[in-house]
Amino acid sequence: MAPTAPAETRHRLSVRILVVLASILAFLAIFTSWIDRQALDTNEWVGTSGKLLQDRAISDAVATYSVDQLYADVDVAAQLRERLPQPLQPLSAPVAAGIRQFATQAAKEAFQSPRVQQAWKDANRVAHRELVSILKGSNQYVSSENGRVVLALRPIILQLADRIGLKKPASQNLPADVGTLEIADSKQLDAARTVVKIVEGLAWIFTFGSLALFGAAAYLARGRRWIVSLGYGLGLVAAGLAAIAVRAALKPLLVDSLAKTEDAKVPAQHAWDIGTSLLQSIATTVVVYGVLFVVAAFLASPSDRAVAVRRALAPALRERQALVWSLFGAAVLIALIISPPAGTRQLVLTVLLIALAGTGLELLRRKTEREFPGAKRGDWLREMRRRARQSTAEAGRRIGSAVRELTDDDRDPDDAKLDRLERLGELKEKGVLTAAEFREEKRRILGG
């Protein structure tokens, strides 16, 4: 025998499960998207590394490291001894120590200069492009066999040496690999390539799987799709807030594990904040999307306020369709300018969301046309005025009723007066009576 229950009742459990799974996939998509973009997008990587160097605590730590590398490979005291006159040569060691302090301070200031920061970005760009090309198998010059991906700080160290007058001896004595930070070696590349493929694949699966599950739930919930939109919107908000909470919870754990000394904790904390700023941005965007889904669900709901909003929008949606769609297009254009899609996945996701928003707007237009075919501009304002008058009249009736209760009490005169005054004070505190009304009623009660 065929089921006779409505579709929204038959599939209620399935719809709930689909919405919950869609929200979980959205949570996972936040992290896979962050890893994919942060680790594999060169522009994102360079932008983040630039922000790292602009941070004073981090740049000071890098500056100190660079000066240490310079002094480790160049005998500054010997260089000074050769240049100083014979009587002053014994002072070469203390002078070198003093220059080291000066060089450290000069390096800290230099790392805040546009020239050094650009050199830092260039070094990161070269290293990251090389790493990504190797991981994706598109590098023709570096193989995974005996391959090393490095971040070379030698040009920056030479710039610092130039600032303290040691560029020539530094360029002659510094080894080619000074200041070289190894990012990956050949033993790690095969495993890294596998991880890259998994992360890229999961980012696609989680992102579009979440939308697909939402679409399936909406299809099954015919007649109550606004509830699905509400549930998915709340799920997106929860996913975004949960990702932000995870970021905050992991910060002290990772900082403590990476920073071996107390001095290193502040730079490590700043590095975490900057390095995970993209995660924060993605999670916040998901929260915004969730709020938009909740707003859309409210507009489609049968609540009195939603009906009033649809009644107010009906004339414009029916008579000014060109203006409505122009405003929609302008809003989409502004959103794309403020936050342009980064990569193919983001572009596809953006197109789908724009199409979904446009479909929702068209469904809202048709719904208002069915509900309020004769609605005219100004109807909502007249309705608000009518409700305001009703509220005022109702408030007047409540005040009159309260006053009558106070005056009709037939108990003992003294007790009745006391009770009336207490109730009168309560009415004043609740705002039912004005100060003038309170004084007038109090005078009347006390006067008998």
- 360-383 pLDDT tens trace: 999 999 888 888 887 776 666 666
Using a pLDDT cut of 90, give the percent of the chain over it: 21
Question: Does the pLDDT of residue 99 top 80, yes or no?
Answer: no
The predicted model gives 276-291 an average pLDDT of 91
Tokens describing residue 308:
């009033």
User: For 383, what's the count of Cα atoms within 13 Å in the CB-facing half-sphere?
Assistant: 14
Q: How far apart are CA 216 and CA 360, in angstroms?
A: 16
Pure H helices in 74-91: 76-83
Predicted TM-score of the model (pTM): 0.65
| 262 DSSP 8-state letter | S
The predicted model gives 407-433 an average pLDDT of 67
Q: How far apart are CA 96 and CA 204, in angstroms?
A: 57
pLDDT at 123: 72
**Which of 26-40, 61-75, 370-384: highest mean pLDDT?**
26-40
The predicted model gives 195-223 an average pLDDT of 89
Question: Does the pLDDT of residue 135 top 50, yes or no?
Answer: yes
Question: Does the pLDDT of residue 291 top 90, yes or no?
Answer: yes
Question: Does the pLDDT of residue 2 top 50, yes or no?
Answer: no
Tokens describing residue 113:
């200069």
Tokens describing residue 112:
């805040």
Burial group, residue 87, by CB count within 10 angstroms (0-12, 13-18, 19+): exposed
Give residue-wise pLDDT tens across range 121-131. Answer: 777 776 667 66
| 222 DSSP 8-state letter | T
Q: Which residues of 132-168 are buried (b: 16+ CB within 10 A; e: fewer)?
A: bbbbeeebeebebeebebbbbbbebbbbbbebbebee
Element (H, E) at 180: strand 180-185
pLDDT at 142: 41
Question: Does the pLDDT of residue 102 top 60, yes or no?
Answer: yes
Q: What phi and psi values does residue 378 have, to the nearest 5 degrees?
A: 95, -10
pLDDT band at 30 (very low <50, low <70, confident <90, very high): very high
| 370 DSSP 8-state letter | H
pLDDT band at 434 (very low <50, low <70, confident <90, very high): confident
The closest of 160, 158, 152, 159 to 179, measured between CA atoms, is 152
CA angle 156, 158, 159 (to 5 degrees): 65
Tokens describing residue 170:
């530094």
Residue 118 CA: distances (Å) to CA of 51, 53, 58, 124: 11, 10, 16, 10
Question: Does the pLDDT of residue 36 top 70, yes or no?
Answer: yes
pLDDT at 13: 87
pLDDT at 112: 74
pLDDT at 74: 61
**Which of 13-27, 110-124, 194-208, 335-349: highest mean pLDDT?**
13-27
3 state DSSP class of 152: strand
Question: Does the pLDDT of residue 240 top 70, yes or no?
Answer: yes
Using a pLDDT cut of 70, give the percent of the chain over it: 65
**Which of 125-139, 176-190, 330-344: highest mean pLDDT?**
330-344
Question: Does the pLDDT of residue 432 top 50, yes or no?
Answer: yes
Q: What phi and psi values does residue 208 have, to the nearest 5 degrees?
A: -85, -20
pLDDT band at 144 (very low <50, low <70, confident <90, very high): very low
Question: Does the pLDDT of residue 10 top 70, yes or no?
Answer: no
The closest of 199, 184, 179 to 130, measured between CA atoms, is 184
Q: What phi and psi values does residue 149 have, to the nearest 5 degrees?
A: -105, 120
Beta-carbon contacts of residue 55 (< 8 Å; ≥ 6 apart): 267, 270, 271, 274
Question: Does the pLDDT of residue 44 top 70, yes or no?
Answer: yes
Question: Does the pLDDT of residue 262 top 80, yes or no?
Answer: no
pLDDT band at 140 (very low <50, low <70, confident <90, very high): very low
Give residue-wise pLDDT tens across range 45-59. Answer: 777 777 777 777 777
The closest of 201, 214, 53, 37 to 119, measured between CA atoms, is 53
pLDDT band at 230 (very low <50, low <70, confident <90, very high): very high
pLDDT at 428: 74
Of residues 327 and 277, the one with the higher pLDDT is 327
pLDDT at 403: 59
To which residue do tokens 């949606």 refer? 317
